[in-house]
Structure 1
Amino acid sequence: MSEPQQTPGITTYDVIVLGAGPVGQNVADRARAAGLSVAVVERELVGGECSYWACVPSKALLRPVIAVADARRVDGAREAVSGRIDTDRVFARRNRYVTDWDDSGQALWVKSIGADLFRGHGRIDGPRRVTVTRDDGASQTLTARHAVAVATGSDPVLPDLPGITEARPWTNRHGTDSSTVPGRLAVVGGGGVGVEMATLWQGIGSRVTLFARRSLIPRMEPFAGELVAQGLTEAGADVRIGVRVTALRRPDPNGPVTLTLDDGGELEVDEVMFATGRTPRTGDIGLDTVGLTPGSWLDVDTTCLVKDVEGGWLYGLGDVNHRALLTHQGKYQARTAGDAIGARAAGRPLDEHAWGDHATTADQHAVPQVFFTDPEAASVGLTADQAERAGHRTKIVDLDFNAAQGANLHADHYPGHARLVVDIDRDILLGATFVGPGVSELLHSATVAVAGEVPLKRLRHAIACFPTVSEIWLFLLAAYRRDGD
């Protein structure tokens, strides 16, 4: 194992990682496994956005809402559900999973792998050089023999609207760390964060109005957004598609917020949350010192090495490269990049062929994503429209889940739909989308099929257990064959 080297005022490591979220932790772990010395720099909490304000708290909060909804779909269980969700216990559950925003456990994990943790703001200061400034103003200089990996994540974007500063809107952080239920909540944005937050807060007692410019979860198949909108409406939310907020007013800081809408109306709410996109957290990390534009997304190659930086030492992982703003995809990139850093440091050749050890091929072909709404929406690979625009000859297979008895046993009148996008020239799946209760557990099988390019003639031999929701695979494949392909 390589060790850090100290000279007066400077400590040299093989690898410096900016950001100690899941992405930064994974690249650090892989680099350590390759025998390299590693410094990890974090200016907030070790564990990052995912652990404290995004994936973990949102799912901890959503699970009670979905559990109650699932029970209400089953005769006999439905009658046992009475009263309202206990919000104090829901928030307490969230607090347990975010360890009361105490990152000491994750900081110990960084130490356990043999990496050194530096708390403070890390800023690139020229090639292979990072300055870390602590909250007390003291600074330390680190240099990297082989790599600096940027895994600083992203920040929410607030639109430039009249009155937005006065309105003091929520972002995803307020949406997951608040312990007070607003009586009326407006959620602006129909993407994954918007639909999950609308599901959550409607489920625990808010009267939610959700605004989306065009559709819900537009990166999935159109039917996914339609079924999620239907589920939110049935839960009591007011879903307004094609209506935009044009201004906000909150003259009393403790009073309601008034939204001005482009259809001529107004809406008064107690809080408003914007889920209208993300921007890379690269504005103040010294990109200008290596010829890059501060605040920009990082353009990377298949190993996540940043292009247009001389010397081949700067890597961009996770949100900052804008490939897929998903924790699991960032961790995949980090594992791949960590292995590439180790290989390059040892002078070994890289396997950068498609699906090779040092290629992030899945970023283009097999990105899985799940939105924990009611019903859930899950997809991997290309949508039908994306496949057509990419020039593939395809067959689209659509089925409602009630074709599978396992789905009907899971939930009476199971609400859901499934789609396969098949490349008819190669007899493989290009994409799959499932919408329905619990479909997140179907997604990995679809991801294996897409990433593995499993021929459908072989896939039909993967037998789904009876009676399970996964039986839908049998019916989808049978429908494909009946169509003469």
Structure 2
Amino acid sequence: MTESQSTHNAPIAYDVVVLGAGPVGENVADRTRAAGLTTAVVESELVGGECSYWACMPSKSLLRPVIARADARRVPGLRRSVQGPLDTAEVLAHRDYETSGWDDAGQVSWLESIGADLYRGHGRLTGERTVTVTGSDGSRRVLTARHAVAVCTGSRARLPDLPGLDEIEPWTSREATSAKAAPGRLVVVGGGVVATEMATAWQALGSRVTLLVRGGGLLARMEPFAGELVAEALAEAGADIRTGTSVTSVSRENGTLTVVTDKGDRIEADEILFATGRAPRTDDIGLDTIGLEPGSWLPVDDSLRVTGHDWLYAVGDVNHRALLTHQGKYQARIAGAAIAARAAGEPVATDPWGAHVATADDAAVPQVVFTDPEAAAVGLSLAEAEQAGHRVRAVDVDLATVAGAGLYADGYRGRARMVVDVEEEILRGVTFVGPGVGELIHSATIAVTARVPLPRLWHAVPSYPTISEVWLRLLEAYRDS
């Protein structure tokens, strides 16, 4: 039910109140309801959140035909059939289908099916264990939580402080994934995941893309070769990549944007996307009423409980541990279990890899970048492992030497690396770059998470001829080096 439409003013008590109905909030609610706790969920926008309408689902809908066409063009006997341009209108229509036309009725029905109560409106903490919801019609409802309030409000795009930015209506990730047409000329500012994925999508859908990167390359948080291979492919597709470049000002006149860089370049464009980081959506949720700083990331313990507040949880992006939907959902399962255990007076498991500890946030965070080629990584890069004090060695394999890769694509280009802890003989991290490698990363995630000894990995036999045979090549390279 949608309680915010009610005219009643008496406080309503729940066991748990969840702020935010994105994937993280939904999963917290699912776990607490499964434990028999009464749960209210508060949402100011669409149930399903950023992932469903402005991030994961629309972006991958835009990218899937781009990557499928690129793969097909590498298959002998097929490439001539896919030489024409993509049907941009059809791609955008499918994107709209995957976002349900930005209608959340289906996800509202799911919330109702688990027995959670939905309150539409802006939720703010107004004291300990208390949330006040203000509806779009000005109605106010006060909710109290017997056991926990979970802040699952996510993050938003962070825009730089630039002269003229307020007047030009720049794109953020939201506009980039929901645009109704491909701009003729698109400037993308940034070199991370959003920047590279959106550059890949819109270049293929008809835009002329210029990528402005402040640093020395793309995907700086991954192994260096990941960004190098993605940059090479983007350039071959027609994108103009300028590294070591910052934007100093932007202006729009008669519909045309002028972007000025610190190198004195003046670039004309139709739209500009700033993919320059994220900020927590905590600026107006009442943190000041409980002694916390509005607009701040919320520090938590491993059960996702906010430091200094035994009833308050921060789950997903807001705690800044791992800004990824799948990690947020993982945290939500942990937090929901911890809330339920504490509510029942049961012990909370604090041992690593226990049911109430988000250990994977530190040890085994997987990520796939859906560019062409795909880049996928889990755990620590070589540099991160060395900085953490581990004695490690990088083992690299050219993916083109793997039989399955050659069958997957003519002229396959890719690379794999495993970071081996030479003292414990386990994997600290694994990175794959190449067509189709996104489906490889879960096997690496299992190996890193479970700390599988390298001698045991020899007995995990990869099927022939698949790209997964790279595991055998990596083990051989480690043995022979």
Give distance in 1, aligned partners of 2:9 and 2:440: 55
- Determine if contact 2:9/2:141 at 8 Å carries over to the other structure: no
- Determine if contact 1:258/1:269 at 8 Å carries over to the other structure: yes
Give distance in 2, aligned partners of 1:49 and 1:396: 36
* Structure 2 residue aligned with 1:241: 243
* 2:420 counterpart SS class: strand
* 2:253 counterpart SS class: coil
Give distance in 1, aligned partners of 2:257 and 2:119: 41
* Structure 1 residue aligned with 2:172: 171
* Structure 2 residue aligned with 1:45: 46
Q: How far did residue 304 of structure 1 move? A: 0.3
* Structure 1 residue aligned with 2:307: 307
* Structure 1 residue aligned with 2:135: 134
| Larger displacement relative to structure 2 (443-452 or 69-78) | 69-78
* Structure 1 residue aligned with 2:37: 36
CA offsets per residue over residues 181-212 of structure 1, 9 Å max, x none? 11110000101000000000001110000111
- Determine if contact 2:395/2:478 at 8 Å carries over to the other structure: yes
Q: What one-letter code is carried by the residue in structure 1 that aligns with 2:162? A: L
Q: How far did residue 460 of structure 1 move? A: 1.2
Q: How far did residue 8 of structure 1 move? A: 6.3
Q: What one-letter code is carried by the residue in structure 2 that aligns with 1:348? A: E
Which blocks of at least 5 consecutive residues in structure 1 are unaligned?
A: 1-6
Q: How far did residue 112 of structure 1 move? A: 0.3
- 1:60-459 to structure 2, matched below 5 A, reads 60-214=61-215, 215-252=217-254, 255-309=255-309, 312-459=310-457
Q: What one-letter code is carried by the residue in structure 2 that aligns with 1:395? A: R
CA offsets per residue over residues 152-209 of structure 1, 9 Å max, x none? 0111011011111122110001101011111110000101000000000001110000
- Determine if contact 2:376/2:438 at 8 Å carries over to the other structure: yes
Q: How far did residue 447 of structure 1 move? A: 0.2
* 1:250 counterpart SS class: strand
Q: What one-letter code is carried by the residue in structure 2 that aligns with 1:94? A: R
- Determine if contact 1:166/1:251 at 8 Å carries over to the other structure: no
* 2:41 counterpart SS class: strand
Give distance in 1, aligned partners of 2:211 and 2:344: 53
Give distance in 2, aligned partners of 1:427 and 1:15: 44
CA offsets per residue over residues 51-77 of structure 1, 9 Å max, x none? 000000000110011111111111111
* Structure 2 residue aligned with 1:468: 466
CA offsets per residue over residues 106-151 of structure 1, 9 Å max, x none? 0010010011000000000100000000000000000000000000
Q: How far did residue 236 of structure 1 move? A: 0.7
- Determine if contact 2:395/2:419 at 8 Å carries over to the other structure: yes
Q: How far did residue 85 of structure 1 move? A: 0.6
* 2:327 counterpart SS class: helix
Q: How far did residue 455 of structure 1 move? A: 0.4
Q: What one-letter code is carried by the residue in structure 2 that aligns with 1:138? A: S
Q: How far did residue 374 of structure 1 move? A: 0.4
CA offsets per residue over residues 285-333 of structure 1, 9 Å max, x none? 0000000000000000000000022xx1000000000011100000000
Give distance in 2, aligned partners of 1:194 and 1:161: 19
| Larger displacement relative to structure 2 (312-321 or 165-174) | 165-174
Query: Where do 4+ consecutive residues of structure 1 move more than 2 Å?
Result: none
- Determine if contact 1:416/1:437 at 8 Å carries over to the other structure: yes
Give distance in 2, aligned partners of 1:265 and 1:202: 21
Please report the TM-score for the alignment, with normalisation by the length of structure 2: 0.97
Percent of residue pairs identical: 63
CA offsets per residue over residues 378-437 of structure 1, 9 Å max, x none? 000000000001110111101110121100100011110000001111110000000000
- Determine if contact 1:381/1:430 at 8 Å carries over to the other structure: yes
* Structure 1 residue aligned with 2:10: 9
Give distance in 1, aligned partners of 2:427 and 2:30: 33
Q: What one-letter code is carried by the residue in structure 2 that aligns with 1:258? A: T
* 1:118 counterpart SS class: strand
Note if 1:23 corresponds to 2:21. no
Measured on the aligned residues, the alpha-carbon RMSD in Å equals 0.8
CA offsets per residue over residues 268-291 of structure 1, 9 Å max, x none? 011111000110000000000000
* Structure 2 residue aligned with 1:3: none
* Structure 1 residue aligned with 2:5: none
Q: How far did residue 438 of structure 1 move? A: 0.8
- Determine if contact 2:148/2:311 at 8 Å carries over to the other structure: yes
Which blocks of at least 5 consecutive residues in structure 2 are unaligned?
A: 1-7
* 1:267 counterpart SS class: strand
- Determine if contact 2:125/2:287 at 8 Å carries over to the other structure: yes
Q: What one-letter code is carried by the residue in structure 2 that aligns with 1:207? A: R
Q: How far did residue 82 of structure 1 move? A: 2.9
Q: How far did residue 251 of structure 1 move? A: 2.7
* 1:279 counterpart SS class: strand
Q: What one-letter code is carried by the residue in structure 2 that aligns with 1:39? A: A
Q: What one-letter code is carried by the residue in structure 1 that aligns with 2:295? A: G
* 1:136 counterpart SS class: coil
